[in-house]
Amino acid sequence: MAGMSSSNTSYVARDLAHVWHPCTQMKDHEQQLPMIPIRRGEGVWLEDFEGVRYLDAVSSWWVNLFGHANPRINAAVREQLDRLEQVILAGFTHEPVIRLSESLTAIAPQGLTRCFYADNGSSAVEVAVKMSFHYWRNVGRGAKTRFIALSNSYHGETLGALAVGNVELYKAIYKPLLMDVITVPSPDCFEREPGESWAEHSRRKFTHMEAALQKHAHETAAVILEPLVQCAGSMRMYDPVYLELLREACDRHEVHLIADEVAVGFGRTGTLFACEQAGIRPDFMCLSKGLTSGYLPLSAVLTTEPVYAAFYDEYVKLNAFLHSHSFTGNPLACAAALASLDIFRTDNVLERNRALSAHLGLRARELESHPHVAEVRQRGMIVAVELVREKATRQPYPWQERRGLRIYRHALSRGVLLRPIGNVVYFMPPYVITPEQIDLVVEVAREGIELATCD
Ligand code: PMP
């Protein structure tokens, strides 16, 4: 395959001797999966040790916004590196974390005035879950200990985040270790009836949430969900009306709303935050991935004054939120985040993305006529193509056939990194992609789909 020549080979051998890779059956590297050692990145491109380039159409697990080795972010991190690389954030502070907190609270939905930091998306979810639970205890409502989550949701891999998620592949084996959550059917619009609009379907599905809230509000701390797109859940999407209804119902039932914008935040859905499309303000908003433009591990949980106030007390009352991570609010990561927000401000990014997403959608929808494509769906800069064995009945391909893997391999041979989730091919490119590069990515996906569905 392209790029797998001698100088890559030695890195591959050394890697496979010691590195245990994430989300991987390592035996696949014997035959199914090539291992690609990357020497450098530039813009949308990743380059291996033989100079073969791969267009990063999945933003390296949805983190990268403005390209690899972005000169402006590089400069900001370099400058910070000479000043302060890391300092304990308990009792001490630093300029990047102060400025970042000022910036985030200024651009987030109004009323999210407090920032708590961690260093990855799962940890942000843990923080939000613990904070919500702890809030209710602090205000004398200790019976509110449970969480409501959606089917097909994903919130990360640590035990609390895994518990509130619902992708069986990642969760099933660990069930004995996980807290019991209340799971409500997702408003996923792939399941809408023929002729039903996204809004109608999402509204109809909300009846399950309303029923769960009616039954469980007295024992429920929060509802957690991914606004608009269930990314790891095969990029299934729903209408903003669901979030509007949920905000109103959470207020009425006195239950918190946790918006996990780890994947959809920072422009992926077309607006800076997905919640904006419903005009709502969650009680907790989890951010990571694009927060640093995919440069360094950092996450933030934004919350409100009333939540903050419930923890603000005399030390001896032991009401404080005693949660910490060593690298909380790391200055280098904050500097990358500030540089990324600066690019949003100066480069009219959301406006530019509107043209890019229109082009991406237009080209991707050409795949809709394919006999094994059931749907092409889009929300902003996220586009997904759902493959099925039989179009009329929407019968899926059995997962054991690993059709997506064939597309992955084909795309690599054409210099594109696509990473289908099961039977769903998706595009979530860095915002520095050009229309011509979008054409290439979609063409390669089309070829891959042909290959993967020809038998
Ligand atoms: N929440 C969502 C919605 C995610 O998509 C992810 C990661 N894919 C996470 C949480 C977990 O983030 P991390 O991998 O940084 O722990």
C-beta of 231 in contact with ligand 1 (< 6 A): yes
Block residue for tokens 């404080």:
320
Q: What is the pLDDT at residue 5?
A: 52
C-beta of 263 in contact with ligand 1 (< 6 A): yes
H or E stretch including 172? none
Query: What are the φ/ψ torsions at residue 146 (nearest 5 degrees)?
Result: -105, 170
How many angstroms is it from 6 CA to the middle of ligand 1? 35
Residue 69, by phi and psi: left (phi above 0), alpha (psi -120 to 50) or beta?
A: left
How many angstroms is it from 288 CA to the middle of ligand 1? 8
C-beta of 232 in contact with ligand 1 (< 6 A): yes
Q: What is the pLDDT at residue 6?
A: 61
Mean pLDDT by 10 residues, the chain (455 residues): 67 97 96 95 98 98 98 98 98 98 98 98 98 98 98 98 96 97 98 97 98 98 99 98 98 99 98 98 99 98 98 97 97 98 98 98 98 98 98 95 97 98 98 98 98 95
Residue nearest to ligand 1 atom 2, measured at CA: 155
Please state the three-class secondary structure of 244-286 as a single string: HHHHHHHHHHCCEEEEECCCCCCCCCCCCCHHHHHCCCCCEEE
How many angstroms is it from 292 CA to the middle of ligand 1? 14
Atom of ligand 1 nearest to the CA of 231: 5
CA dihedral 74, 75, 78, 79 (to 10 degrees): -150
Which tens digit of pLDDT belongs to each residue from 146-205? 999 999 999 999 999 999 999 999 999 999 999 999 999 999 999 999 999 999 999 999
H or E stretch including 324? none
Residue to mutate, 61, 120, 154, 230, ligand 1, most ligand atoms under 8 Å from C-beta: 154
Q: What is the pLDDT at residue 2?
A: 46
How many angstroms is it from 156 CA to the middle of ligand 1? 5
Atom of ligand 1 nearest to the CA of 161: 10
Domains, the chain, in order of start with CATH, read 6-69+349-452 (3.90.1150.10), 74-346 (3.40.640.10)
- The whole-angstrom separation of Cα 203 and Cα 2 is 48
Block residue for tokens 């795949």:
367
| Cβ atoms of 58 and 430 closer than 8 Å | no
Q: What is the pLDDT at residue 369?
A: 97
Q: What is the pLDDT at residue 118?
A: 98
CA-nearest of 242, 283, 244, 286 to 261 is 286
Block residue for tokens 């640093």:
292
C-beta of 250 in contact with ligand 1 (< 6 A): no
C-beta of 154 in contact with ligand 1 (< 6 A): yes
How many angstroms is it from 61 CA to the middle of ligand 1? 9
| Cβ atoms of 432 and 352 closer than 8 Å | no
How many angstroms is it from 155 CA to the middle of ligand 1? 5
Which tens digit of pLDDT belongs to each residue from 167-176? 999 999 999 9
How many angstroms is it from 381 CA to the middle of ligand 1? 18
The pTM assigned to this predicted structure is 0.98
Q: What is the pLDDT at residue 201?
A: 98
Which residues, 6 or more positions from 331, have their beta carbon under 8 angstroms from its beta carbon? 80, 83, 84, 85, 86, 87, 94, 96, 97
C-beta of 121 in contact with ligand 1 (< 6 A): yes
